[in-house]
Amino acid sequence: MPPLITSTFTADPSAHVFNGRVYIYPSHDRDTGTENNDNGDQYDMADYHVFSVPSLHPSPGPVTDHGVVLRAEDIPWVSKQLWAPDAASKNGKYYLYFPARDKDGVFRIGVAEGDSPEGPFTPDPEPISGSYSIDPAAFVDDDGQAYLYFGGIWGGQLQCYQGATASSYDASWQKRGERSGPSEAAQGPRVAKLTDDMHQFDGDVKEITILAPETGEPIPADDHARRFFEAAWLHKRGGEYYFSYSTGDTHFLCFARGKSPLGPFTYGGRILEPVLGWTTHHSIAEVEGRTYLFYHDCELSKGVDHLRSVKVKEIFYDDKGDIITTTSD
């Protein structure tokens, strides 16, 4: 599959259909010569662009680059690293959710508001109260209730919160990377309801449980082929909720199915086999009755991990409702 966006390096695509057009909200990769390490310092992004296409079938395009819609220097609380964003629409407004390091180097999640899906977006002066870690994914359910999913271990700092609240922050977990050991359950992603104005959490942050189908118990911490690492996404199909995510160091995109947007979700299988490059990240969108996977790889940069390119391909469900595994080809 050739890259969808070739004008600049892009990653972590969050796709939505707004006003009959497909909008993509990706990270904007660049090379600043920063050290390449497990902390993710090499992912040193400083702004966001929005892209759109009128349709995806029979082939996607043409791609419009709507330009820079938000800059790190315009967000008062941010020090660096504008990582994977997402967008949502409610009440006739558009909201861009984004993670970044604050002035103390701690990842928080911010929100910026705009009048159009194409931006520009005006950031709130402070991060969302009670937010932490990375990779926000917004989902507005059919009843109008909006949710924000987030979290990522290792460089994404989720392991520093062994409780669900931001006040449980313990920097000593940064070096440990994640839980491990035969009796440890994997740490779950997080979810919070959003207030009607979409700017704050409405109530407590909750940890999501992903269950192993063979035991009915949470996926163990040492099960690196199935445990949550980062890149949360939520979509709904036929009244059922599909939570999907990256397994990080084993490089899979996986899905889990549940009856509530708050979980629990039961592991269902792989969506995407490993791509070229260390990270894998995605979104899933229904466009004109077909289901598409937006993802990235490092084909265009010939394997440079932090210079990625957004791709898109159609995916399919089997007759039990499971997503059929696909590859980057």
Residues marked active site are found at: 12, 230
Q: What is the contact surface with ligand FUB in residues (CB under 6 A)? A: 11-12, 27, 43, 83-84, 134-135, 152, 230-231, 279, 281
Closest contact distance (angstroms) between CB of 278 and ligand FUB is 8
Q: Which is nearer to ligand FUB, 11 or 256 (CB)?
A: 11
Task: Specify the DSSP class assigned to residue 41.
Answer: T
Q: Which is nearer to ligand FUB, 52 or 81 (CB)?
A: 81
Q: Which is nearer to ligand FUB, 212 or 298 (CB)?
A: 298
Closest CA relative to residue 133, chosen from 58, 207, 185, 59: 207
Q: Specify whether the CB–CB gap between 49 and 28 falls below 8 A.
A: yes
Closest contact distance (angstroms) between CB of 73 and ligand FUB is 19
Closest contact distance (angstroms) between CB of 37 and ligand FUB is 13
The side-by-side arrangement of strands in the sheet containing 10-18 is: 10-18, 21-28, 47-53, 64-71
Phi, psi (5° rounding) for residue 250? -105, -5
Q: Specify whether the CB–CB gap between 209 and 168 falls below 8 A.
A: no
Q: How long is the chain?
A: 329
Phi, psi (5° rounding) for residue 112? -130, 145
Reduced to 3 states (helix: H, G, I; strand: E, B; else coil), residue 179 is: coil
Rounded CA separation 240/243 (Å): 10
Closest contact distance (angstroms) between CB of 115 and ligand FUB is 27
Q: Which is nearer to ligand FUB, 190 or 212 (CB)?
A: 190
